[in-house]
Amino acid sequence: MIGERHRFSYGSHIVEFTIVRRNRETLAISVEPDKSVVVAAPQTVPVDAIVQRVRKRARWIVRQQDYFAQFAPRTPARRFLSGETHLYLGRQYRLKVVQDSTPCVKLVGGHFVVHSDFPARPDVTKSLLNDWYQVKAQVKFQERLEATLSRFPDPAAFRPAMLTVRQLRLRWGSMNAAAHLVLNQRLVQAPVDAIDYVIAHELCHVAVLNHSAEFLEFLGGVMPDWARRKERLERYLA
- Per-residue pLDDT, 73: 46
- Distance of alpha carbon 104 from its chain centroid, rounded? 26
36 & 94 share domain: no
- With b meaning 16 or more CB within 10 Å and e meaning fewer, what string describes 69-78? eeeeeeeeee
Neighbours of 228 (CB within 10 A): 13
Instruction: Return the CATH number at 134.
Output: 3.30.2010.10
pTM for the predicted model, two decimal places:
0.74
108 & 226 share domain: yes
- Per-residue pLDDT, 66: 86
178 & 215 share domain: yes
Cα distance between residue 229 and residue 191, in whole Å: 9
Count Cβ atoms within 10 A of the Cβ of residue 86 and give its class: 0-12 exposed, 13-18 middle, 19 or more buried.
middle
Domain-embedded: residue 195: yes
113 & 220 share domain: yes
Cα distance between residue 136 and residue 105, in whole Å: 11
- Per-residue pLDDT, 19: 94
Cα distance between residue 69 and residue 74, in whole Å: 9
Domain-embedded: residue 114: yes
- Per-residue pLDDT, 75: 61
Cα distance between residue 43 and residue 30, in whole Å: 18
Residue count of the chain: 238
60 & 96 share domain: no
227 & 115 share domain: yes
Which residues lie across from 19 on neighbouring strands? 4, 39
26 & 103 share domain: no
DSSP, collapsed to helix, strand or coil, labels residue 94 as: strand
45 & 137 share domain: no
Domain-embedded: residue 79: no
Domain-embedded: residue 77: no
- Per residue in 13-34, pLDDT tens? 899 999 999 888 899 999 887 7
Q: Which residue type, as a one-letter code, is found at position 177?
A: A
DSSP, collapsed to helix, strand or coil, labels residue 30 as: strand
The DSSP letter of residue 97 is: E
- Per residue in 79-99, pLDDT tens? 999 999 999 999 999 999 999
Q: How many domains does the chain have?
A: 2
Low-confidence ranges of the chain (pLDDT < 50): 1, 73
Residue 57 belongs to what domain range? 4-69
51 & 169 share domain: no
